Chains A and B, each alone.
Chain A
Amino acid sequence: MTNEEPSAASLPSEQATPAAPLQAEGRSKGVFVIGCPRSGTSVLSWSLAAHPNFWTSAESDYLLDLFGSVDLHAAFKRAASRPDGGWLTKNNVGYREFASAMGRGVEYLYESRSKGKRWVDSTPGYTLMAETLSMTCPASQFLHIVRDGRAVVCSMLKSGFNTDWSDDFKKACHAWVRYASLGQRFVAAHPGRAMEVRYGDMTARPEETFKKVFSFLGDEYTPKAVDLIMTKRINSSYGNEKEGDIRKEKDPAAAPKRPWEEWSTQQTARFNKIAGPTMLDLGFS
């Protein structure tokens, strides 16, 4: 803020430093499970954590506020576009390196709790900022879980969550379209770091699916992940009688099979209008 810019004359430390390339080496190999809320992000992350090399906990959420792409980029732009060039420009720090530095602290925080294991975070909201996360955590990998939009909308409406999509059919449809499309585009843009996982495959052919998932993550397959998905559902929207029941583990056999068949003609038409193209694009009938 001050204009007392020191004279350019003297000290070697004032000279510009060459830019450091963005390094993934030595960085945390975390896993972000992204996808629309009510798509099975939790059960996928807890299945991964059944593996002895992985660890998970609750959804972290706070990165949305901390790095919400606009904020982080705005902070960078403000600092880099100063008339005097600013520290970042003078030291050749580009946005990717800046984002990576910001993410390093977050990785340390995960590592402090995962105790040497690879951490898994399954915050669905991170689908909306996956591109930023790919820069803040340059060695992390992403699993995008995709579930039939009709099942997701049904689950959203039965979730009892305090969100705008939990009691509004139209908003639920739009939310699924938004998340599923963004996740799909992210996977397409980062084939080496991101993989799509179908909820239907995970539940119908778990062994085959988890073999692919662990192979993608560069780790050994464990049948423990399959055991979990075959015997438990986490944060499921069925069988909830009182507040808090959604957090209980459920028997997968009790899950309703095709709840959207109970929709009215009007609801079906509305879903098709809003989500039809995305459903087809993702290969759902």
Chain B
Amino acid sequence: MVKLKTEQAWGQQDVVLAEPSSPVFILGAPCSDAASLATSLTASKDFWTSTESHLLYSLAGPDEDGEAKLHSMFQKASANESFWLSKNRVVFPEFASFIGLGIDQMFLSRSNKKRWVEASSENTLIAPDLSYMFPKALFIHLLRDGRDVVALMLKHGMQEDSEEGFIAACKMWNIYVQRSLEFQEMFPDRALEVRHEQLLHSTETQVLWIMNFLKGSGPAAVGGHFVSQSHAFQERLWEDWDSARRERFIDLCAGRMTEVGYALDWY
């Protein structure tokens, strides 16, 4: 047991309760190969993962009015000085960290106390709240070429292989990358951007970089596992797109692609 920082504003002494662990969240658009990276990390003795939880977004994502649930609930519950949260001077980061602590312990109960790795892609949309809920968590933004991501979304049925589905997939890649970049800017010390293509082609270097950031051991095993896991996702399915689809992709994603340094070199 160590001290959990329980109060910033109140100024009372820290209370010894429980230690939040140091989980790892892999952010990025769906079909960016986050699951392979998560699984590969478990080749190190320090990490554990399972299937994607798809749990945290239900708890902290938007409510029916589009407001982040934890935020809106906290604001409502602390709107008056006589309310419990106000009276006890609970601030949002502290509140979120307590809610996260119980969830953290649930994951730890399965990870055998190893650092748990969560790769549900929709966590990308609530990453700032996750950073408060899990104050010692680190985040890897797995960035992947939008063309690959969109093509895989269609291939795996995440979006219908139609004009509408294609547009939806393009928008999805855009927004997930945008949110990841925003998070990196907000929390530069807690987020690391990794390119999928570099991870495949310079695996050793990239994994060393990741493990250094995560302060994890056993990078060689992790790298080997990633290469073996990721074969299925190296396909350049977008090369089969017709010119209309290519044009549509350019229309929707050119800005983001160039912003993050992908060349639109297929013409």
Contacts and interface: CB of A to CB of B under 8 A. Distances in A.
Interface of A: 1-7, 10-11, 13-14, 17, 20, 57-62, 65-66, 74-75, 78-79, 82, 84-88, 90-91, 93, 97-98, 101-109, 111-113, 115, 121, 247
B32 interface: yes
Contacts of A17: 110
A91 B157 contact: no
B262 interface: no
Nearest to B76: A65
B12 to A, nearest CB: 9
B53 A86 contact: yes
Nearest to A84: B51
Contact of A3 (B47, B103, B156): B156
Contact of A104 (B6, B102, B152): B102
Contacts of B48: 13
Given A59-B84, A109-B95, A2 B105 contact: no
Interface stretch (B36-44, B178-186, B201-209, B237-245): B36-44
A62 B158 contact: no
B102 A3 contact: no
Contact of A1 (B4, B83, B158): B158
Most chain A CB neighbours (cut-off 10 Å) among B50, B59, B73, B156: B50
B18 A108 contact: yes
9 contacts: A2-B31, A5-B35, A13-B42, A60-B83, A78-B54, A101-B102, A105-B101, A106-B99, A108-B101
Contacts, number: 164
Interface string B47-76: 111111111001100000000000001101
A109 B106 contact: no
Contacts of B160: none
A65 B73 contact: yes
Given A2-B35, A6-B39, A14-B50, A105 B100 contact: yes
B122 A1 contact: yes
Given A2-B121, A98-B106, A111 B15 contact: yes
A7 B76 contact: no
Nearest to A244: B82
Contact of A101 (B77, B106, B152): B106
Task: Determine chain A's interface SS by DSSP, over half rule.
Answer: helix
Contacts of A58: 82-84, 87-88
A113 B157 CA distance: 49
Contact of A65 (B53, B77, B98): B77
Contacts of B6: 112
A96 B152 CA distance: 37
Closest 6 CB pairs of A and B: A104-B102, A62-B77, A105-B102, A101-B106, A87-B53, A75-B58
Interface in B138-156: 152, 156
Most chain B CB neighbours (cut-off 10 Å) among A17, A20, A102, A113: A113
Contacts of A20: 109
Contacts of B114: 13
B144 to A, nearest CB: 11
Contacts of A108: 4, 17-18, 98, 101-102
Most chain B CB neighbours (cut-off 10 Å) among A11, A59, A82, A98: A11
A103 B102 contact: yes
Given A1-B120, A59-B84, 10 more contacts: A1-B158, A4-B31, A4-B156, A11-B225, A13-B111, A14-B39, A57-B88, A78-B58, A90-B51, A93-B106
A181 B76 CA distance: 28
Contacts of A75: 55, 58-59
B17 A10 contact: no
Given A4-B233, A6-B35, A10-B225, A112 B15 contact: yes
Given A103-B102, A111-B15, A87 B73 contact: no
B90 interface: yes
B233 A109 contact: no
Contacts of A10: 39, 225
Contact of B98 (A13, A78, A87, A106): A106
A234 B155 CA distance: 64
A82 to B, nearest CB: 6
A1 B106 contact: no
A59 B85 CA distance: 9
Nearest to B89: A113
Contact of B55 (A2, A14, A79, A121): A79
Contacts of A62: 73-74, 76-77, 83-85
